[in-house]
Amino acid sequence: MRRWIKDPLAVLAKGAEGGLVVENGKISQLVGRGEKPQCDSTVEASQHVILPGLINTHHHFYQTLTRAHPDAINKELFDWLKALYPVWARLNPEAHRIATRLALTEMMMSGVTTSSDHHYVFPPGLDDAMDIQVDEAVKLGMRMTVTRGSMNLSVKDGGLPPDSVVQDQDTILADCERVIGKYHQRGEGAQIQIGLAPCSPFSVTRDLMRETAVLAEKHDCRLHTHLAETHDEDAFCLATFKMRPLDYLEDCGWLSSRTWLAHGIHFNDADIKRLGKHGVGICHCPTSNMTLASGRCRTCDLEAAGVPVGLGVDGSASNDASNLMEGVRHALLLNRLTYGQKVTHFDVLRWATQGSAACLGRSDIGEIAVGKQADLAMFKLDELRFSGAGDPLAALVLCGAQRADRVMIAGAWRVVDGLPVGLDLAQLRSQHGRAAKAFLNA
């Protein structure tokens, strides 16, 4: 079937003023203004602004259960973590499943077609956390890079997390191999890919970092971790490892193009040059960085050095949402405080699409072009917030678009008229609300 998505109000692609043709799950043709391609069906898009499907490169799905938690609000990262680790230690398979479903749905409704999640909390009984996430992503039709996170440095060893949420190194590495062998898809059009993701310098050992890098090289998969998020992390690395965070990363064998890092705020000029030399990606998390008062990522300097820059919502306890379109606007506003008007809506939309795809090591998504996967986010400008807007693409960012009207993934509609196909939102809200209330009151 050839489907013509016809005559959009605007589209983030040159030469597609008349729309695009979708065939066999891919974009097969860009349609110029006035052209009329031969197709089996037509989708009228005259009220829609079309973007490549947004790509979220950092999240913690389970944290949807602890948004605006009274013990954690108005705290910086380390104190925030200390308040929430004991709460997250109660995570069970049922709660994890509903948190995953809600996070994926919330993102998809905001225009996300591919997401990464960094899950690193494994209390007793949650051994199948990765299996649950894969199952939920497949059911919704979402593309996902599932990162098998880990923590093995607890309070008793000089780390930050409590003993109840960490695992031993052998258990972690064995499960990493299991998950890769069972779920990791390679090549163009992959729906599920696996990354390996020790949590942070203050929650894993040096040996686990090194062994994880060896495993990723062996299986040709991505590496991910938090780095350079706060000055407290700098101090921890200097005190514990006698080196700065990026030096520690290099010592562990992580400076390579298969690595992307969450946050990347406190890099100096020499760090940025090294990141660019090795092709390490950075996921910019503007909403979380402002919420936790962590600092500003040097996005433009990183890009100028050759570093792929993507966007992420980060966890829903430090955001406190799973809306990447909202994050796009926050990225524009925050980065203008650093770089002025030279940061445009095209920059932040690029970070949320092509830049994020590069962080995940993918060239088949993140762009509206012939041969790319048919992953699209289509927005209407019919809300009051858009009235009077002159430039449709700029209006999505400047006027604060929140919700896609249609979302296509691999050529299939997953959101229609603003609602996820085949999902009862009221039921999901009720189930998730009950699970979150149990966390709050336990």
Region 126-141 average pLDDT: 98
pLDDT digits (tens, 9 = 90+) for 43-85: 999 999 999 999 999 999 999 999 999 999 999 999 999 999 9
Span 433-442, mean pLDDT?
A: 87
Residue with tokens 């917030």: 385
Task: Read off the pLDDT of residues 294-342 as tens digits, 9 standing for 90 and up.
Answer: 999 999 999 999 999 999 999 999 999 999 999 999 999 999 999 999 9
pLDDT at 194 over 70: yes
Q: What is the pLDDT of residues 261-298, one digit of tens each?
A: 999 999 999 999 999 999 999 999 999 999 999 999 99
Specify whether the CB–CB gap between 222 and 260 falls below 8 A: yes
* pLDDT confidence bin for 260, thresholds 50/70/90: very high
State pLDDT tens for residues 90-100. Answer: 999 999 999 99
Q: What is the mean pLDDT of residues 393-414?
A: 98
Q: What is the mean pLDDT of residues 165-170?
A: 95
Q: How do beta strands 143-150 and 192-198 pair?
A: parallel
CATH number of 2-52+366-420: 2.30.40.10
Per DSSP bridges, beta strands 376-380 and 309-311 are unpaired
- What the block records as the tokens of 406 is 């249609």
pLDDT at 442 over 70: no
Q: Encode pLDDT of 340-390 as tens digits.
A: 999 999 999 999 999 999 999 999 999 999 999 999 999 999 999 999 999
| Strands 309-311, 143-150: pairing kind | unpaired
Name the pLDDT band for 146 (thresholds 50, 70, 90).
Answer: very high
pLDDT on residue 21: 98
pLDDT at residue number 211: 98
Please state, in angstroms and rounded to a whole number, the distance separating the CA atoms of residues 435 and 232.
32
| Cα-based torsion angle of the residue sequence 314, 351, 26, 35 in order, rounded to the nearest 10 degrees | 140
Q: What is the pLDDT of residue 157?
A: 87
In 3D, which of 103, 94, 96, 69 has the Cα closest to residue 84? 69
Q: What percent of the chain has pLDDT over 70?
A: 100
| Pairing relationship of beta strands 376-380 and 406-409 according to DSSP bridges | antiparallel
Mean pLDDT along residues 392-396: 98
3-class secondary-structure state, position 369? coil
Closest CA to 93 of 51, 57, 50, 136: 136
- For 201-216, what is the mean pLDDT? 96
Give strand pairing partners of 224. 260
Nearest to 180 by CA among 227, 223, 209, 210: 223
Question: In 3D, which of 205, 144, 202 has the Cα closest to residue 172?
Answer: 205
> Mean pLDDT across the stretch 216-230?
97
Residue 123 has pLDDT above 90, yes or no: yes
Dihedral (CA of 246, 252, 258, 259) sign:
negative
CATH architecture, domain defined by 54-359: Alpha-Beta Barrel (3.20)
CA distance 423 to 432: 14
Over residues 133-148, the mean pLDDT reads: 98
Cβ neighbours for 107, distance < 8 A, ≥ 6 positions apart: 56, 59, 115, 142, 313, 322, 323, 324
Annotated domain spans of the chain: 2-52+366-420, 54-359
Alpha-carbon span 150 to 437, nearest angstrom? 26
* Average predicted confidence (pLDDT) for the chain: 96
